[in-house]
Amino acid sequence: MTTARDIMNPGATCVSEDQTVLEAARMMRDMGVGSLPICGNDQKLHGIITDRDIVVKCLAEGKDVATCTTGELAQGEITWVDAMTDVREVVDVMGRDQIKRLPVIENHQLVGMISEADLARHLDEHQLSEFVEKVFARP
């Protein structure tokens, strides 16, 4: 059985919920990524900030990226999977929730992230096609 651990990018770097959106954007730039998990002072996952969130929820709303915190943009319930989750369920979860990045948790700690690119590297053509149809389908 292929698991979430087998396909994830290990060691995801968190941005603190107290850090500014500007700091998060610079971290994304420096790391060459389009999203970062947001971790709270309790060391737990509180959300994910994406480059799109910065544009839509901060800049387009007239907020100042130098004062707006990542915690202000962390909203709603967080979708995640356990490290031992079967990759078929990973695909189902990402497809059901139409998400492109999925945190992987083990023992209540963030241990990695799964992205579309990870799925593309590890899924067969049929599984990948199903994932794309689910995530990019517009109601």
The 10s digit of each residue's pLDDT in 106-116 is 988 899 999 88
Q: Which domain holds residue 102?
A: 4-136
pLDDT band at 80 (very low <50, low <70, confident <90, very high): very high
pLDDT of 77 > 80? The answer is: yes
| Half-sphere exposure (Cβ direction) of 29: Cα atoms closer than 13 Å | 7
Q: What CATH code is carried by the domain that includes residue 81?
A: 3.10.580.10
How many separate domains does the chain show? 1
Comparison of pLDDT for 130 and 73, the residue scoring more: 73
SS3 123: coil
Give the model's pLDDT for residue 138.
58
Comparison of pLDDT for 130 and 96, the residue scoring more: 96
Instruction: Sort 99 into a burial class: Cβ within 10 Å, 0-12 / 13-18 / 19+.
Output: middle
Q: Strands 45-50 and 101-106, how do they pair?
A: unpaired
pLDDT band at 16 (very low <50, low <70, confident <90, very high): very high
